[in-house]
Structure 1
Amino acid sequence: MEVIDNKEKNRFEANVKGELAIVEYSLKDEVISITHTEVPKALAGQGVGSKLTEAVLKHVEERGLKVKPLCPFTKKYIDKHPQWNEIVA
């Protein structure tokens, strides 16, 4: 799954089977706040949200940023995958 950072819209995007899954964010200083994750109903239950969230967290880590998981989905994902606690603001 290819994930792009659409900086103009402040969101990460993944086109999966012609459907757009997104993770919205805001960036302030060196902290990226994840505010919303949305996966189309057609893709529900296929792990798209988890794969997208993991890709976003890898992107945050590679850029040397910290993440503030305001989105319940992202927070739950990090709780289940504690290796990401290192980058939580």
Structure 2
Amino acid sequence: MSAAGSVQVRRDLAAGRFEILVDDVVAGYADFADADGVRTFPHTVVASEFGGRGLAGRMIEEALRVTHEEGLRVRPACSFVQRYIEKNPESAELA
């Protein structure tokens, strides 16, 4: 990964997903859907050329932070999101 400032997480409301960008290129995304005060994360993807950099974890950390700020609960239908919450107990209050 290049300079620290080259990685950012954004939410694409039209696509219904959080995205992580490296040098302005979408490196991965986490789909979500909101219903009845619960945000479900069914799918998380990081492109293979960006793998092994911890990008999925950074993206999910930000997605969970935003979800918590919005007062929503989390349904981690995606196995990556489920494992992230298990490994980061401070996120467990959302699930």
Task: Identify whether the pair has TM-score above 0.5, normalized to the shorter chain.
Answer: yes
State the aligned residue count. 88
Matching of residue 54 in structure 1 with residue 61 in structure 2: yes
Give the residue type in structure 2 aligned to 1:44: G
Structure 1: stretches of 5+ with no match in the other structure: none
2:32 pairs, out of 6, 11, 25, with 25
Q: Secondary structure at the match of 1:2?
A: strand
Q: RCO (CA 8 Å, sep 6+): is it higher in 1 or 2?
A: 1
Q: CA RMSD of the aligned region, Å? A: 1.1
Once the two structures are TM-superposed, the CA of residue 29 in structure 1 deviates from its matched residue by 1.8
Moved over 2 A (4+): 17-20
Q: Normalization by structure 2: what TM-score?
A: 0.86
Shift of 1:21: 1.1
**Which of residues 50, 65, 78 is equivalent to 1:71?**
78
Instruction: For 2:73 and 2:8, locate their aligned partners in 1 and report how far apart those are by CA, in whole Å.
Output: 22
Could you list the runs of 5+ residues in structure 2 that have no partner in the other structure?
1-6
TM-score by length of 1: 0.92
User: 2: distance between equivalents of 1:4 and 1:68?
Assistant: 20
- Which residue of structure 2 lines up, in the alignment, with residue 4 of structure 1? 10
The share of aligned pairs that are identical, in percent, is 30
1:16 paired residue number? 22
Higher gyration radius (CA):
2
